[in-house]
Chain A
Amino acid sequence: MSLKHDSKLMPPSSLTDNSRDPLPAPPRTSIWLGIVSFAAVIAAQTYAILTSPAEGDMGHLQKIMYVHVPAAWMTFLSFFVVLVFSMLYLWRRRENDDLLAASAAEVGATFNGLTLLLGMIWGRPAWGVWWVWDARLTSTLVLFLIFVGYLSLRAFVDDAQQRARWSAAVGAIGALNVPIVYMSVKWWRTLHQPQSSPETLDPAYTMGLRLNAIALLLVMIYFIRKRYEIARLERAVEHAAEAAAMGAR
């Protein structure tokens, strides 16, 4: 990840005592990444809608898959990022790792919420009800609660170091539970009845799905970088305030 050093924001070195500088200037997220990623989503969705054939009695309903499935994949991917950077933070105690984990958690929670909404919108015409306690919807809901718990913890802890350490521990342990939750809900549902939705995907749909997944991945990367930039900026302001408070004594 390239950190563009914005020289306009750094004061001339002759005027500052570098040993008490706030964190180095937070990275700027490329606006092009944002434009390209959103354009890619539009393109991928257009392609998928126009090229996927109608299927059986559900008609074009499976087109929802092109937004629902990638959203679910991005949810899990974000969780993985939270796990990796939580463990990295616990290992080398670098604040930026904690900030990146937190950014990935917020973005992940957003994709998680979207996955749930789309799952319900797909489910209503497919199963006749707004909610079924099926394996995927239910475990996605539980995961959402784990994300919410992580974010709430951060909101309720004021000390920055403690917040970082605790979030990292909670994030890592929460991520550890993801496969277990998924597995147990799946067992819970399928021991007495088969899966409600088919697992196999007709090759006619895979290209569209892959394109949408890649496009949404770009959006996710952009979101995480943007959120990370905000986190770094806010933290730098906090550091400056702390340094000023210490200097004033």
Chain B
Amino acid sequence: MPASNLSFIVAAYSVTWVVLLGYLFRLVRKSARARAEYERAVQKRIGGTQL
């Protein structure tokens, strides 16, 4: 029985890493996109009429 449990242990740790890394990548991608948008918005402000 312990032998078949191995597949569950492996599954548990795999799922953990899939979720953690998956969420990490989602956050990294989202933050890159958000920061690009932010810089674009700031550039627009500098370029806009502020005299």
Contact = CB atoms under 8 A, between A and B. Distances in A.
Interface of A: 9-11, 15-17, 22, 26, 29, 34, 38, 41, 45, 54, 57-61, 63-64, 67-68, 71, 107, 110, 113-114, 117-118, 121-122, 124-125, 219, 223, 226-227, 229-230, 233-234, 236-237, 240-241, 244, 247
Nearest to A107: B23
The size bracket of the interface on B is 20 to 34
Contact of B5 (A29, A60, A113, A117): A60
A114 B41 contact: no
Contacts of B41: 22, 236-237, 240-241
A110 B27 CA distance: 12
10 A-B pairs with least C-beta separation: A59-B2, A233-B34, A240-B41, A64-B12, A11-B46, A67-B16, A226-B27, A233-B38, A61-B5, A114-B19
Contacts of A26: 38
B46 to A, nearest CB: 4
Interface of B: 1-6, 8-9, 11-13, 15-16, 19-20, 23-24, 27-28, 30-31, 34-35, 37-39, 41-42, 44-46, 48, 50
B33 to A, nearest CB: 9
Contacts of B31: 29, 226, 229-230, 233
B38 to A, nearest CB: 5
A110 B23 contact: yes
- Chief secondary structure at chain A's binding surface: helix
Given A10-B42, A122-B8, A226-B28, 8 more contacts: A11-B42, A22-B45, A60-B5, A125-B8, A226-B27, A237-B34, A237-B38, A241-B41
Contacts of A9: 38-39, 42
Nearest to B51: A15
Given A226-B27, A236-B41, A244-B44, A61 B8 contact: yes
